[in-house]
Chain A
Amino acid sequence: MRYLPLAVAVAVAGVACHEPTLPPNHTPAYAFDYFGDVFHWPQDRLSVRFFADTRGAMRTYVQRGVNLWEQQFLYGEFRGVLVPDSTHADVIVVWADSVPPDVPPDEGAPIKACVGTTTPEFDVSGVALAGPIHTSLAVLMSSATPAQLAACMRRTVLHELGHALGLFQEASDSLLIMNFTPWVNAPADGDRRTVEVLYHTPPTIAPPPR
């Protein structure tokens, strides 16, 4: 009985001496700079405010995109929130022309039935954004069904939100969401590693004034 606490202490010390944690590999899968400059939303601008076109399924797509991108981060680097007013948004996502029907997306083979554009506007200094990042989604002329078009819009919104987060380059790997044409439904491991490194790289482009 007398030596029991000592025995417990020795056992506890044994647990403490086990192998230390090794950091994992964080090599990015593709480049993210904008002609040598780096942009990401700084800590003091979180949560980033997203406005989504109120027509059709855009809010659903943007909310899903924000959630999926948030889930790529482990250490509190990024948070986003949908806002109802575009005048108080950091990122504005709208339909470029027609509004596709709000139907459940087709989960089959992907069809390139839409296209997205994200445009950062720089101020005169060239090292700061002048205003919100604008993203627009357009329907391409194709024989895609409404469900195939919805699937295209869903993954293209996710891809464009990647640009709005600061991933300004396209990936060459077709299994990544940031491939020039997004074929997958979610960010892959390479996207996660790349956006992680981006958010730990000191930015050279300042966010727009609020």
Chain B
Amino acid sequence: MKGVGRPGRWRVGLVCVGWLFLSARPPDRLSAQASLSASLGARYSSTLVHDSIVSPFDIRLGISPALTLAVALPLEAPWTADVTLDASYGAVSRHDQSGTVAPITHVTILTLGVALRRDLRHGFSASAGAGLLAYLPAEHIGIFRDGGGPVVPMGTAALGYSPPLAVRRGLALEARYDLHGFLTPALRTEGFVNSTVVHRVALAVRYRLWKGSPP
């Protein structure tokens, strides 16, 4: 169970901050300007682990559903600060060169992030930010035998597009990219030293759930 205690506390902290973020009532002046949106889409992740035992193989997370909740706080135009809580869930499996796919387990990936968004012309917007990410495996088995590892930093960038017709309905299309380092305690025990850089790309539809009225 080595290496589980500290990451466990971090993970609890991440969940608590996320819960506070979702349940906290912003000050009246802020709430008058803030908006809450949710997006649902699909996410692709690059290889989590590449190894070779007799022949090379990859450990991958399949294309998984991604749900994001975001609170947007307008800053000086055209800037907006976004605080996001993102969850995705997928199957982790081994992909052999022969084409064999061996399931390992399922994992939930939680991220909490902040980003700075700028509105561009013609309904486009671009954002960049950073956050924290945690792997929460369904079972302590295989590469997650000793847990999902510590909470790690992640960087993120996104491009949004809201056609004129969709603006009024609070709808937008969003392409999000993020990256982080992946290394679990079990992989470290196996002899892995460096983490794998994992790139994730998500395509999603964003819907504004709530918007504060101007003061």
Contacts and interface: CB of A to CB of B under 8 A. Distances in A.
Do most interface residues of chain B lie in helix, strand or loop, or is the interface mixed?
A: strand
B127 A5 contact: yes
Interface stretch (B37-45, B97-105, B203-211): B97-105
A15 interface: yes
Contacts of B199: 16
A197 B51 CA distance: 12
B94 A1 contact: no
A26 interface: yes
Interface in B30-80: 49-55, 57, 59, 76, 79
Contacts of A11: 130, 155
Contacts, number: 103
Contacts of B130: 8, 11-12
Interface string A24-63: 1110000000000000000100000000000000000000
B194 A75 contact: no
B50 A24 contact: no
B120 to A, nearest CB: 11
A210 interface: no
B145 interface: yes
Contacts of A70: 141
Interface residues of A, number: 31
A117 to B, nearest CB: 30
Which 6 pairs, one residue from A and one from B, show the smallest C-beta to C-beta distance? A24-B191, A12-B155, A8-B128, A5-B128, A76-B104, A200-B54
Interface of A: 1, 4-6, 8-9, 11-12, 15-16, 18-26, 43, 70-71, 73-77, 196-197, 200-201
23 contacts: A1-B76, A1-B79, A8-B128, A8-B155, A11-B130, A12-B130, A15-B155, A16-B179, A18-B181, A18-B197, A21-B192, A21-B193, A21-B194, A23-B51, A23-B52, A24-B191, A24-B192, A26-B51, A74-B186, A75-B57, A75-B142, A75-B143, A76-B94
